[in-house]
Amino acid sequence: MTLPAALLTAAVSAREPKCYANTQDANEWVCWQYVEDRSDQILDALQWHVQITLAALVLAVLIAFPLALLARRFPRAEAWVLGGATGLYTIPSLALFPLFLPFTGISATTVVLGLALYALTVLVRAILDGLRGVPDEVRESATGLGYGRGKLLLKVELPLALPVIVAGLRVATVSTVALTTVGSLVEGTYGGLGRLIAHGVDANFRAELLTASVLCVLLALVLDAILVLAQRALTPWTRGGRV
């Protein structure tokens, strides 16, 4: 190496942030400089994580709702519906995601479908329990007022079942935020923050690993808080009234 080249390398090394350099004595867990330098990469991973999580939850609700109605309408189908939803959750992600590859390929759709099926375990039972928790006298009163089956469901049963349903949705949301990281098995980008976590583990990149993990926790807390606020807004009668 010539002298100018050596000086250039030394100058570049001097400008490198030492708190996340890939050396044992400088590879720190907490490094704000890493967040500033890699902000575009971190935000891109976070955006993917949010999009895939929300898409999976919306799809899970769209599937779980008719299944819960089917189980309530036909008691003989309940064991099959609940058993099937629970059985899906027992399938490892390493086995479930590849099942969709022949149909959806290496795409975000593969990850969304897998995550939605995992969320069914909680959502189907929560919707079913919430609807069954509506008092019979309330249904009878609504029926006496001329409410048909559809109007009874939308105007009476669903609002009263909402606290139980949201409780299940909160559990499913937190679980989905965590499971989205597994999407990196299909393709790095579709794992959202999981891509950074996997790379941080493989490269022993402590700052990257901790930053992505903390963002996963914060994302779960934010989405959970949003659901709580939404429930309070949609069910004002559940708030404690002033004496």
b/e map of 88-116 (b: 16 or more CB within 10 Å)? beeeebeebbeebeeebeeebbbbbbbbb
Kindly state whether residue 91 falls inside one of the protein's structural domains: yes
The CATH number linked to 117 is 1.10.3720.10
Half-sphere exposure of 66 (CA within 13 A, CB side): 3
Kindly state whether residue 206 falls inside one of the protein's structural domains: yes
pLDDT bin (cut points 50, 70, 90) of residue 23 is low
Kindly state whether residue 8 falls inside one of the protein's structural domains: no
Kindly state whether residue 25 falls inside one of the protein's structural domains: no
pLDDT higher than 60, residue 140: yes
**pLDDT of amino acid 108:** 86
Q: How far apart are CA 223 and CA 229, in angstroms?
A: 10
- CB-based contact 29:210 (threshold 8 Å): yes
Question: How many structural domains comprise the chain?
Answer: 1
The more confidently predicted of residues 11 and 224 is: 224
**Which residue segment(s) compose the domain that 194 sits in?**
42-234
pLDDT higher than 60, residue 222: yes
Kindly state whether residue 17 falls inside one of the protein's structural domains: no
Range in 1-5, 71-75, 128-132, 181-185 the model is least confident about? 1-5
Kindly state whether residue 76 falls inside one of the protein's structural domains: yes
State the Rg of the chain over Cα: 24
**pLDDT of amino acid 229:** 93
pLDDT higher than 50, residue 13: no
Residue 160 backbone zone (phi > 0: left; psi -120 to 50: alpha; other: beta): alpha
pLDDT tens, residue by residue, 48-67: 999 999 999 999 999 999 99
pLDDT bin (cut points 50, 70, 90) of residue 136 is confident
pLDDT bin (cut points 50, 70, 90) of residue 1 is very low
- CB-based contact 29:207 (threshold 8 Å): yes
**pLDDT of amino acid 24:** 57
Kindly state whether residue 121 falls inside one of the protein's structural domains: yes
Q: Considering the chain, what is the average pLDDT of its residues?
A: 83
pLDDT higher than 60, residue 199: yes
Average pLDDT over residues 133-159: 84
Kindly state whether residue 201 falls inside one of the protein's structural domains: yes
**pLDDT of amino acid 27:** 74
The pTM of this model reads 0.84
**pLDDT of amino acid 165:** 94
Q: How far apart are CA 39 and CA 12, in angstroms?
A: 20
**pLDDT of amino acid 135:** 85
Q: How far apart are CA 195 and CA 199, in angstroms?
A: 6
Looking at the chain, the whole-number percentage of residues with pLDDT higher than 70 is 87
The more confidently predicted of residues 239 and 23 is: 239
